[in-house]
Amino acid sequence: MSLIRIIFIVFLSVASFTAVLGHEPVDLDMVHRIRQEGLKNSQIRDLSFHLTDVIGPRLSGSTGLRNAYEWTSKQMEEWGLSNVEVSPWGDFGRGWENERFYFAMTKPYYQHLIAVPRAWTRGTGGEIVTRPVLVNIRDEKDFDRYRGKLEGKVIVTPVISEPELSFEPLASRRDDDELQRLAQYPDVVSPDYGRPWRQQSDWFTQQVFSRKVMEFFEDEGVKAILNASGTFGVVRSHGRGYDVSDEPGLAQVDMTFEHYGRIVRLLEAGVDVELELEIENRFLYDDLKGYNVLAEIPGTDPVLKDEVVIIGGHLDSWHAGTGGNDNAAGVAVMMEVMRILKDLEVLPRRTIRIALWGAEEQGLHGSRSYVREHYFDYSDGGKKPGHENFSAYYNVDNGSGKIRGIYLQDNDALRPIFEAWFEPLKDLGVNTVTLRRTGSTDHVAFDAAGLPGFQFIQDRLDYARSYHTNMDTFERMQLGDMMQAATVVAVLVYHTAMRDERLPRKHFDP
Ligand SMILES: [Zn+2]
């Protein structure tokens, strides 16, 4: 290679490097300070421990979630954050908590059963000793076979599909190939987008029919229903209605598939099975509201301080575990971001606000209501005054895995900005900017309002097998990964709060 050519290449690479950084300023001194604080002085462990082990399950409307409002807001006050507030977002419904649960098979031999009561269902009114009944209702004609025969019974339904043997690894990180694929925009015909209409209509028909079956069981005076949910002793939580205008549903138990399958096989073979079951649940009607927890580092620029950068994640969890991956991880990371920035005494031009949302699991209620109140009316497409002063929303809710990149939600204008901000974080594994959209959590509330709202690309780890289960606990939280995540988010939030302009928005037609 000739010397001139080498000089030319060196010139080109320097020119392009400064061009990127020059176009979108990066404060390398602040990056250094944030990395030191986030990686060497982390509070992630303590935050994670409190949110899971000390506070416990944080089901919407439960005492646990109320304790979480109190603890997180107190903690953020102690750090010196401003405008700390437990702010009602609207009416949620009745609270529910399980107070006692005992479940065992006593015939043909004794064995305790791994199970979790279904949220917002009634209890059994004391211990019952009962022979379960196999009920197989496929269509409405089957109702007659069981009419008058189910009063006071515990029922199980036959097993329709058995869990398949899995050869997948228990946990995984995203490798370079996968990240590269993710960085490519998907084909418009990709099955990523929407499921076929037929499948949806089947699902709907099924929903309507299962509602009828449930009404039949209620009318017949069934005592409790057993369901299979999860395998390997891992039970996935579910819930019934929490709306105060509906009667609480009859007692239901979600069981690990192995224990459920055995009961079904024994009953099908005509073996005498006896169960002991006691469920004591409490409904809370004293406060039907839902809340978000808010706190701020106020902006300091005379012009930009009314503009806001929000970070958040949902504080509520399901009740079977302590919501480690989903979503104490996101809450701990976002609280740690605020702690890092506060301890570094940053003076952001825009206001940086944290929002710990309520009732995400029941349909993004906390975040949607917040957006509706301050930014955008989804029903008529009307923008509220805050819409103009909003820069960006960042969310963490995909477990405790490292941040590997960001989904731009189709907004092309953001690519050079995030590429510049990721440059000094590449050694932490952050290198993927994809135009793709991702859904299913609180950033959607902002995205749907025409506001820049983001969820990160995270390493999956063991999120898929743990979320919503009895085993989603402190042990699922990879603290080193979370330290990385807090450091990365703090760098992004700081730069979002400091840049001259708001983050560019994509075209939005409400
Ligand atoms: Zn979640």
Domain boundaries 24-92+288-498, corresponding CATH code: 3.40.630.10
Which of 83-87, 202-206, 285-289, 497-501 has the least mean pLDDT? 202-206
Say if CB 326 and CB 59 are below 8 A apart.
no
Distance 37 CA to ligand 1 centre (A): 27
Domain boundaries 98-163+194-284, corresponding CATH code: 3.50.30.30
Whether the model clears a pTM of 0.85, i.e. scores above it, the answer is yes
Name the pLDDT band for 509 (thresholds 50, 70, 90). Answer: confident
Distance 321 CA to ligand 1 centre (A): 13
To the nearest whole number, what is the mean pLDDT of the chain?
93
Distance 34 CA to ligand 1 centre (A): 26
Phi/psi of residue 8, nearest 5 degrees: -60, -45
The structure tokens listed for 152 are 């006071």
pLDDT of residue 87: 98
CB neighbours of residue 179 within 10 Å: 16
Instruction: Report CA-CA distances (Å) from 231 to 251, 470, 506.
Output: 21, 11, 43
Angle, helix 329-343 to helix 479-498, in steps of 10 degrees:
50
The structure tokens listed for 50 are 């409190």
Distance 364 CA to ligand 1 centre (A): 10
Which whole number is the average pLDDT over 15-19?
40
Length of the chain: 510
Cα–Cα distance measured from residue 111 to residue 273, given in angstroms and rounded to the nearest whole number: 12
Question: Does residue 47 sit in helix, strand or coil?
Answer: helix
Distance 366 CA to ligand 1 centre (A): 13
270: left (phi over 0), alpha (psi -120 to 50) or beta: left
Transcribe 133-193 into DSSP letters.
Answer: EE----SGGGHHHHTTS-TT-EEE----SPPPP--S-SSB---HHHHHHHHSPPPTT-TTS
Angle (CA) 368-474-490 rounded to 5° is 55
DSSP letter, residue 462: T
User: With pLDDT > 90 as the criterion, what percentage of the chain qualifies?
Assistant: 87
pLDDT digit string, tens, across residues 184-201: 988 655 555 455 555 566
- The residues of the chain that CATH labels 3.40.630.10 are 24-92+288-498
- The residues of the chain that CATH labels 3.50.30.30 are 98-163+194-284
Say if CB 306 and CB 349 are below 8 A apart.
no
The structure tokens listed for 371 are 């957006």
pLDDT digit string, tens, across residues 35-72: 999 999 999 999 999 999 999 999 999 999 999 999 99
Cα–Cα distance measured from residue 166 to residue 191, given in angstroms and rounded to the nearest whole number: 23
Cα–Cα distance measured from residue 270 to residue 268, given in angstroms and rounded to the nearest whole number: 5
Distance 316 CA to ligand 1 centre (A): 8
Distance 123 CA to ligand 1 centre (A): 27
DSSP letter, residue 237: -
Distance 249 CA to ligand 1 centre (A): 24
Cα–Cα distance measured from residue 424 to residue 420, given in angstroms and rounded to the nearest whole number: 8
pLDDT of residue 23: 83
Examine residue 281 and say whether the peptide bond preceding it is cis (omega within 30 degrees of 0). Answer: no
Cα–Cα distance measured from residue 222 to residue 251, given in angstroms and rounded to the nearest whole number: 9
DSSP helix, strand, coil percent of the chain (3-state; round to 5): 40, 20, 40
pLDDT of residue 12: 44
